[in-house]
């Protein structure tokens, strides 16, 4: 799905929040234009080391991935407004609302923001679930659904993918 989204948006510049081991970044890079650059942010240096290895093993040139160590909400404000085609969020669920605010600033018109874990282990649809992560993901969905600036799509794949196009 990430490869598809990067491809249909003809992404040249992508931000990923939550590098992990580089699996999602690899799929994003495979869908991006050949001259595209992925900027990926993670607080764990070990994640970024593993992601570099994953990218290398996938045959991705090192200049196509910019890995930044740090908290997303510290790093994102330093990125260029209106420069990015796609923002993929898979970080701290309690910060999803703030990621959306930053993504809207970072995205070009027509750009796409993607949130992983939009169903959050099937907890989002259950109003009895009130833990911080579930509430944050639930509120994000409501905010995106009610926004006139966004065209949303909830994909019930895996743990849910919430995609929204900036109008």
Q: What is the pLDDT of residues 38-65, one digit of tens each?
A: 999 999 999 999 999 999 999 999 999 9
Q: How does pLDDT run across 114-153, given as a tens digit for each residue?
A: 999 999 999 999 999 999 999 999 999 999 999 999 999 9
pTM: 0.97
Whole-number Cα distances in Å, 158 to 23, 41, 114, 139, 161 = 15, 23, 14, 20, 8
99 three-state secondary structure: helix
Q: Any idea where the domains of the chain sit in the sequence?
A: 2-166
* Nearest-angstrom CA–CA distance, 96 and 101: 9
Q: Are 91 and 99 in contact (CB under 8 A)?
A: yes
- Return the CATH class of domain 2-166: alpha beta
């Amino acid at each position: 799905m990430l490869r598809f989204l990067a491809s249909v948006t003809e992404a040249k510049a992508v931000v990923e929040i939550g590098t992990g081991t580089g699996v999602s970044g690899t799929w994003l890079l495979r869908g991006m234009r050949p001259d595209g650059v992925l900027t990926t942010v993670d607080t764990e240096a070990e994640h970024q080391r593993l992601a570099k290895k994953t990218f290398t093993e996938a045959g991705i040139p090192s200049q196509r991935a910019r890995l930044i160590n740090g908290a997303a909400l510290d790093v994102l404000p330093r990125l260029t407004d209106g420069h990015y085609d796609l923002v993929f969020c898979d970080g701290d669920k309690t910060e999803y609302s703030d990621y959306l605010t930053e993504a809207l600033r970072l995205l070009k018109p027509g750009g796409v923001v993607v949130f992983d874990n939009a169903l959050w282990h099937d907890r989002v649809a259950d109003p009895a679930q009130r833990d911080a992560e579930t509430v944050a993901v639930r509120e994000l969905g409501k905010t995106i659904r009610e926004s006139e600036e966004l065209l949303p799509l909830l994909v019930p794949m895996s743990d849910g993918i919430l995609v929204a196009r900036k109008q």
